[in-house]
């Protein structure tokens, strides 16, 4: 029975299997890059979003009370956009001290992307030390698309002494504009 439930859970990650070459074909809880957050949340709820430190982007977080796959999500949109168009979208699933299961899911999702979307480049970072947290690790799989956007699947393995952090899987979809924002260094000023 446990094996059956794992198979059912993993199948929830599968998206339309026809080969798509548009990053917007990838959905997280029904949302995609290019969608308006107004299609999913009230303006009042969105306005309570966190504004990114340099104020170019704002971020909206959500918990998964009606989610089928993820426990939570994060979306970024331009701070001055009254349509709240999504440029970054990430689904999050927590693994309480079970990082090996996270890695299994990460590679399963990667195989689904490989068969379901036409991407230009694939990169497996391997397990790397976390840049800001001691004794913690990140492992990223990155799919880059012709339009300049990307999908990153990451397992975050936090040290047990970091009580406020929980090991997690994050599946993130980024528009070309958001990728450029991150790679230009503008995000870190």
Considering its fold, how many domains does the chain have in total?
1
- Does residue 9 register a pLDDT over 60? no
Band of residue 109 on the pLDDT scale cut at 50, 70, 90: very high
Per the DSSP assignment, residues forming a β-bridge with 86 are 77
Per the DSSP assignment, residues forming a β-bridge with 57 are 78
- pLDDT per residue as tens digits for the range 133-172: 888 999 999 999 999 999 999 999 998 888 888 999 999 9
How confident is the prediction for the chain on average, in pLDDT?
85
What is the C-alpha end-to-end distance of the chain, expressed in Å? 50
Runs of H (alpha helix) within the chain: 2-11, 43-47, 99-116, 176-183
The candidate with the shortest Cα–Cα distance to 46, out of 75, 22, 73, 72, is 75
Q: What's the pLDDT at 6? A: 38
Q: Calculate mean pLDDT across residues 38-49.
A: 87
39: containing domain: 2-188
The candidate with the shortest Cα–Cα distance to 79, out of 51, 60, 37, 42, is 51
- Give the C-alpha separation, 74 to 90, whole Å: 5
Phi, psi at residue 109, to the nearest 5°?
Answer: -65, -40
Q: How many CB atoms lie within 10 A of CB 165?
A: 15
- Give the C-alpha separation, 34 to 69, whole Å: 21
Provide the whole-model pTM: 0.84
């Amino acid at each position: 029975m446990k094996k059956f439930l794992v198979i059912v859970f993993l199948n929830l990650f599968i998206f339309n299997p026809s080969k798509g070459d548009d990053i917007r074909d990838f959905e997280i809880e029904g949302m995609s890059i290019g969608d308006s957050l107004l299609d999913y949340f009230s303006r009042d709820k969105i306005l309570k979003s966190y504004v990114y430190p340099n104020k170019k982007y704002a971020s909206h977080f959500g918990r998964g009370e009606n989610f089928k796959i993820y426990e939570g999500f994060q979306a970024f949109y331009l701070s001055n956009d009254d349509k709240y168009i999504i440029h970054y979208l990430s689904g999050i699933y927590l693994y309480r001290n079970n990082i090996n299961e996270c890695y299994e899911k990460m590679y399963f999702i990667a195989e689904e992307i490989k068969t379901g979307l036409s991407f230009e480049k694939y990169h497996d970072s391997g397990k790397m030390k976390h840049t800001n947290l001691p004794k913690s690790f990140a492992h990223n799989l990155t799919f880059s698309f012709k339009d300049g956007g990307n999908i990153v699947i990451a397992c975050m393995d936090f040290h047990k002494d970091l009580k406020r952090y929980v090991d997690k899987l994050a599946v993130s979809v980024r528009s070309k504009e958001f990728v450029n924002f991150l790679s230009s260094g503008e995000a870190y000023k």
